[in-house]
């Protein structure tokens, strides 16, 4: 249903890639990587949103974006100057990109400006705001208050109950969740400035859990901060897992597993074929061991054949969910930017 929008976006962004790429790089293999990323975004119906983010930034020079999720792994966004995360610098392979939607924070401008910009593309699609009719869903509504559905006009469901809200945005009367798997979703939010006059990486830790881990691990480099920020967002990566090993001094910050990229690098360092290594990372990152024990046994056999340490295999087995490295990098780079502070 998004073929038309994405086909136009593919043609446009391919030309912009050619125009921008060689200002930053001159390696053909990197150009081919960006072309592959365009294809992936096209297949997932996300490419036209990238196009609009790019065009919006061209019109509003003061705007910066802060992306959430593994979309930070895409070199294309860095080449187009809509992401400040350079995937090459932090070893972020595009193969780990698995976002089903785009989560983006607007920096320096209110997010409604971009929403209004999308509204002006009304000939192509309608913007539907995530809305819940029942009062007992208020808590969930607040959680999804910045989520939107982008509905192609040609595919608008006549049975969908819609109305315009006070911001002249179409909102669903029905439960938002009943549509989000069928239509394109995007989360648009704002990134707040940091209220501090001292630029310091410690400001990346925003809750007690992160700060407690930092006290134990004592980060020094940006890579250390990235690891701690990533651990705190994951499930059973620290608690009930590596926290005990750190306490027993069996692992430390250097070899601690904090991200999907850490797992991939470990497997590749043990000479596991890249395709198989990526499969194992995808399996571990979503905690599929209990659902597919036989598949896990197959992967354990592969790891043992390549002399992976039993301790690390055990670490992998306990993980229920693990973040990608890119989002934590984005958070760290945000706090290092002096323009993002206010007194």
- With bands split at pLDDT 50, 70 and 90, how would you rate the model's confidence at 255? very high
Q: Hey, is 87 helix, strand or coil?
A: coil
Q: Residue 24 in contact with residue 88, Cβ under 8 Å?
A: no
CA dihedral over 281, 287, 288, 293, signed as positive or negative: positive
The pLDDT assigned to 179 comes to 74
Instruction: Tell me how far apart the alpha carbons of residues 102 and 174 are, in angstroms, rounded to a whole number.
Output: 22
Q: Is the pLDDT of residue 151 over 80?
A: no
- With bands split at pLDDT 50, 70 and 90, how would you rate the model's confidence at 136? very low
Q: Is the pLDDT of residue 143 over 50?
A: no
Checking DSSP bridges between strand 184-190 and strand 147-152, what pairing results, if any?
Answer: antiparallel
Instruction: Tell me how far apart the alpha carbons of residues 313 and 305 are, in angstroms, rounded to a whole number.
Output: 12
- With bands split at pLDDT 50, 70 and 90, how would you rate the model's confidence at 338? confident
Q: For the segment 57-114, what is each residue's pLDDT rounded down to a tens digit?
A: 999 989 999 999 999 999 999 999 999 999 999 999 999 999 988 999 999 888 889 9
Instruction: Tell me how far apart the alpha carbons of residues 37 and 21 are, in angstroms, rounded to a whole number.
Output: 14
Q: For the segment 170-213, what is each residue's pLDDT rounded down to a tens digit?
A: 777 666 667 777 788 888 999 988 887 677 899 999 999 999 99
Closest residue by Cα to residue 63 from 72, 52, 48: 52
Rg of the chain over all Cα atoms, to the nearest angstrom: 21
Q: Is the pLDDT of residue 287 over 50?
A: yes
- With bands split at pLDDT 50, 70 and 90, how would you rate the model's confidence at 150? confident
Q: What is the DSSP letter of 155?
A: G
The pLDDT assigned to 40 comes to 97
Q: Is the pLDDT of residue 284 over 90?
A: yes
Q: Is the pLDDT of residue 154 over 80?
A: no
- The mean pLDDT of 144-169, rounded to a whole number, is 69
Q: For the segment 214-250, what is each residue's pLDDT rounded down to a tens digit?
A: 999 999 999 999 999 999 889 999 999 999 999 999 9
The token pair at 330 is 């984005």
Q: How far is CA 284 from CA 238, 279, 321, in A?
A: 15, 9, 7
SS (H, E, C) 180-233: CCCCEEEEEEECCCEECCCCCHHHHCCCHHHHHHHHHHCCCCHHHHHHHHHHHH
């Amino acid at each position: 249903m998004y073929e038309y929008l994405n086909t136009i976006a593919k043609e446009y962004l391919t030309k912009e890639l050619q125009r921008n790429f060689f200002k930053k790089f001159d390696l053909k293999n990197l150009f081919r990587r960006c072309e592959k990323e365009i294809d992936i975004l096209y297949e997932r119906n996300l490419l036209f949103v990238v196009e609009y983010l790019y065009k919006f930034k061209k019109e509003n020079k003061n705007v910066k974006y802060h992306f959430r999720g593994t979309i930070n792994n895409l070199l294309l966004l860095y080449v187009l100057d809509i992401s400040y995360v350079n995937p090459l610098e932090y070893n972020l392979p595009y193969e780990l990109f698995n976002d089903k939607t785009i989560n983006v924070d607007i920096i320096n401008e209110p997010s409604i400006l971009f929403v209004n910009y999308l509204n002006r593309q009304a000939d192509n699609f309608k913007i539907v705001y995530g809305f819940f009719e029942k009062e007992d869903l208020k808590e969930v509504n607040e959680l999804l208050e910045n989520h939107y559905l982008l509905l192609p006009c040609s595919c608008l469901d006549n049975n969908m109950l819609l109305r315009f809200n006070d911001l002249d945005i179409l909102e669903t009367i029905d439960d938002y969740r009943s549509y989000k798997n069928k239509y394109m979703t995007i989360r648009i939010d704002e990134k707040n400035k940091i209220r501090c006059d001292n630029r310091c990486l410690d400001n990346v830790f925003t809750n007690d859990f992160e700060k407690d881990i930092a006290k134990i691990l004592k980060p020094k480099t940006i890579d250390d901060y990235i690891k701690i920020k990533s651990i705190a967002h994951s499930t059973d990566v620290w608690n009930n897992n590596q926290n005990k090993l750190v306490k027993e001094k069996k692992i430390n910050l250097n070899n601690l597993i904090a991200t999907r990229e850490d797992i991939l690098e470990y497997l590749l360092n043990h000479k596991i074929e890249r395709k198989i290594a990526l499969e194992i990372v995808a399996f571990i990152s979503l905690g599929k061991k209990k659902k597919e024990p036989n598949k896990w046994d197959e992967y354990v056999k592969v790891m043992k054949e390549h002399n992976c340490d039993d301790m690390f295999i055990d670490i992998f087995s306990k993980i229920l969910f693990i973040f990608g490295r890119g989002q934590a990098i984005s958070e760290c780079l945000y706090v290092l930017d002096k323009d993002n502070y206010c007194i």
